Amino acid sequence: MRQPEHVRAVQAFARRELIGKDAYLDSLAEAPLPLYERFADTGLANWWVPKEHGGPGLGLEDGVRIVAELAYADAGAAFTLFIPVLTTSMVSWYGSPELRDHYLGKLVAGSGFCATLGSEHAAGSELARITTTARRDGNDVVLNGEKAFSTNADFAEFLVVVARAEHDPAGYLAVLVPRDTPGIRIDKRWDVLGLRSSATYQVTLTDCRVPAANVLRGNGLRLLEVGLNASRILIATTALGIARRIRDVCLEYGRTKQVKGAILAGNAVFAAKLGQFEMQIDVMANQCLAAARRYDEIAARPDAAAEFLRVGTLKTALTTKMFCGQTGWQIASAASEMFGGVGYTHDSVIGKLLRDVRYVSIVEGGDDVLRDLVFNRYVVPVSQRS
């Protein structure tokens, strides 16, 4: 079946800008890499932003197909290009018309980036324990705190900061903060193990003052839950892209490697492993598309913002991320063994792919955190929940 035009455009970009450049993409080069800017030439930068704000307006199912192609070539580039969906989703669903028109329109016009500041060192995955505060001061809100991990923050057009309401310790806000607001300091770029073509930062906020109108509508933690649905499904999709790349790398290796006087591809054990990979890849693809369709069904409703608030975390987003992260890691681990000693060196791309896929089970809630969430939200009967 012929791929849609936007998928073909992404495939061409990946071949031209990413494939064959693994060493460079794994080098922690300065970000944003120029290749991110060249992605805008495809016309697909911020492909999910609604058409009313000037974006392509593609759904999450289309996003899965795009990210799978990008992650096949480099998961770090894919992550950089899609992770703004977390931020823009919150603004799109819960920002005022003025915020949406100005900031989403400007983002699309400049093919820019945005970022979310949620996690903190002490709070970890327990975001209810965050200490960053938002204080009302007349017609403004003043933010103070330190955020541990924020991808794209240094070169973002704007940030959405999740903070505790200083006047209400039980309340949380999500606040849109322009990147050039005084008081934002980038402390460092993290030297990450994988996804090294992406850029994740530690950020300090000191008396950052923005208009109170920049506060998004609703409880900040709930809005973050809603935003995480789309990004978690696309994070799962990067595992799918990486797994497909691993399968092809292994097949190419098997066609040239000699074992006992015959090529490895003719070995029954090797063939069985790649057959297992293909089965797992097929299930991963179907799961990612099914989760995206569920998200798109809600997004198409006239009451989508209210329905997302009611549902919060989608079960399919949680289970898809967990399944694809674990399955992708199994594939990468088995593949690294196929390469023997070379698979444990930087001379083989398998090592990079192994490090890249590990992030899926760590970021935006580690698997143990998500297991607990699935149990409490979807296993324990409603009548028995605390």
pLDDT at 279: 98
Domain shared by 347 and 374, yes or no: yes
pLDDT at 346: 87
Of 79, 46, 54, the C-alpha closest to 157 is: 46
Distance from C-alpha of 264 to C-alpha of 256, rounded to nearest angstrom: 7
Q: Which of 8-12, 18-22, 52-56, 254-258 has the lowest mean pLDDT?
A: 254-258
Domain shared by 156 and 262, yes or no: no
Domain shared by 170 and 50, yes or no: no
286 part of a folded domain: yes
Q: What is the pLDDT of residues 83-129, one digit of tens each?
A: 999 999 999 999 999 999 999 999 999 999 999 999 999 887 788 89
383 part of a folded domain: no
- Identify the domain containing residue 150 by its residue range: 114-216
Q: Contact 86/116 with Cβ under 8 angstroms?
A: yes
Scanning the structure block, which residue is given the tokens 């698997």? Answer: 367
pLDDT at 386: 63
Residue range 321-326: mean pLDDT, rounded: 98
Q: How many helices (H) and strands (E) does the chain have?
A: 14, 9
Distance from C-alpha of 216 to C-alpha of 209, rounded to nearest angstrom: 15
385 part of a folded domain: no
Q: Contact 263/287 with Cβ under 8 angstroms?
A: no
Alpha helices, DSSP H, located in the chain: 5-17, 22-25, 34-39, 60-73, 75-82, 84-94, 97-99, 105-109, 220-256, 268-299, 304-311, 315-338, 349-358, 367-374
pTM to 2 decimals?
A: 0.96
Domain shared by 97 and 21, yes or no: yes
Domain shared by 30 and 161, yes or no: no
Domain shared by 144 and 62, yes or no: no
Domain shared by 59 and 169, yes or no: no
Q: How many domains, the chain?
A: 3
127 part of a folded domain: yes
pLDDT at 28: 92
Distance from C-alpha of 316 to C-alpha of 229, rounded to nearest angstrom: 9
Mean pLDDT for the chain?
95
17 part of a folded domain: yes
384 part of a folded domain: no
Q: Which residues pair with 116 in a beta bridge?
A: 160
Residue range 150-179: mean pLDDT, rounded: 94
In the chain, the percentage of residues whose pLDDT exceeds 90 is 87
Domain shared by 196 and 225, yes or no: no
209 CB-contact burial (10 Å; exposed 0-12 / middle 13-18 / buried 19+): middle
Structure tokens at 269: 């054990």
Residue range 298-327: mean pLDDT, rounded: 97
Q: What is the pLDDT of residues 212-261, one digit of tens each?
A: 999 999 999 999 999 999 999 999 999 999 999 999 999 999 998 888 88
3-state secondary structure of 208: strand
Residue range 36-61: mean pLDDT, rounded: 96
CATH number of the domain that 226 lies in? 1.20.140.10
Among 110, 140, 165, identify where a domain stops. Answer: 110
Scanning the structure block, which residue is given the tokens 């995480």? Answer: 228
Rounded to whole angstroms, what are the CA distances from 148 to 17, 120, 156, 177? Answer: 30, 5, 16, 17
